[in-house]
Structure 1
Amino acid sequence: MPQAVELRVNGRVQTLAVDGRVPLLQVLRNDLGLNGPKYGCGLGECGACAVLIDGVAARSCSIPLDGVAGRAVTTLEGLGTAERLHPVQQAFIDTQAAQCGYCLNGMLMATVALLQRHPRPTDAQARTALQHHLCRCGTHLEILAAVQRAADLMSAGAPP
């Protein structure tokens, strides 16, 4: 049964009349029109649906809406704008890390979370942070290069 749920997404508070058991991904895409997070597997396995919840990368397809009430949710759309990209977004462009783009949302969100914890990650830390995000296009080396490029941009003072 629908109930009023307060949700803070990309810095804006939203009040929705939605069943709290509905997956966060469904609300983000269908009710709020945020299409950065993708529906991939629906099981929390592929990472295409990743968002940040209080700064931690999480799989939105397997988290019920009630689980994020009152918490800060950030989607790809909340990172930057077309005029002012987040350094991680710019780094993925600079290194040409995307091909089909389906995994890109998850890779970007995991990278943002990683760089918040480790501003200068080692290659091993980057691989560990991204290991559960599936990419079938084969841009793995470019994605790892993008992580290091983002670290460089952020340490040089590029605004997040």
Structure 2
Amino acid sequence: MAKKDVKITINGKEYSSKVEPRMLLVHFIRDVAGLTGTHVGCDTSNCGACTVVLDGKAVKSCTVLAVQADNRRITTVEGLARNGKLHPVQEAFVDKHGLQCGYCTSGMLMTSFWLLQKNRNPTEKEIREALSGNLCRCTGYENIVKAVKEAARAISAEQNKDLVKEEPIEA
């Protein structure tokens, strides 16, 4: 089978490679880009451990071929932190104990990140619905839902802080 050239931008960095047309995106991310935070869980799209954000949409990277991601942009769990500072979603998962063994965590983080990009103030029902494609066998989901709510509050507070002007208002 002839290999295909692909160029995929992951976390702002471009990766180019010749790949088998049947190579899954999850394997490109892990084996070509060397980003192992995206986990291979079930290879059937049931567990969500491989969730990434592809052009602004949460997808299970075990259901996407690398050739389908050619010339597209991906964010993985490694791309959430900025300048050594955890993303509010990551901080909230730590603070609210939204993780235990850690296997599902990257997928949960990416799904939560995606949800909060499109809905800054989700209800508990919306959070649970968004996370319904991600399986966790350790936490029972309660602390994960609390973490997403906390992340939403933190992101809103951060945005409100940016709206406040430093200059005094003249009377």
Coarse TM-score class (shorter-chain normalised) = over 0.9
Q: How many residues end up aligned between the 2 structures?
A: 159
> In angstroms, what is the RMSD of aligned CA positions?
1.5
- Work out whether residues 44 and 61 of structure 1, in 8 Å CA contact, stay in contact via their aligned partners in 2: yes
1:73 alignment partner, SS class: strand
* CA distance in 2: counterparts of 1:20 and 1:146, whole angstroms: 38
Distance of 2:68 and 2:145 partners within structure 1: 31
Q: How far apart, CA to CA, are the structure 2 residues paired with 1:108 and 1:3?
A: 31
Match of 2:142 in 1: 141
**Bigger radius of gyration, 1 or 2?**
2
SS at structure 2 position matched to 1:134: coil
User: Residues 4-153 of structure 1: matches in 2 within 5 Å?
Assistant: 4-81=5-82, 83-153=84-154
Do the aligned partners of 1:99 and 1:139 also contact (CA within 8 Å) in 2? no
CA contact (8 A) 1:110 1:130 kept: yes
SS of equivalent residue, structure 1 residue 137: coil
**Is there any run of 5+ residues in structure 1 with no aligned partner, and where?**
none
Map Cα deviations across residues 6-59 of structure 1 (whole Å, 9 max, x no partner).
111111111111123200001111111101110100011110000000121100
The sequence identity of aligned pairs, in percent, is: 40
- In the alignment, is the contact (CA less than 8 A) between 2:99 and 2:139 conserved in 1? no
Distance 2:142 2:15 in 1: 38
How many angstroms does 1:82 deviate by? 7.7
Gaps of at least 5 residues in structure 2 are 162-171
Deviations 1:79-124 (A, max 9, x none): 1158211111111011011100111011100001110111000000
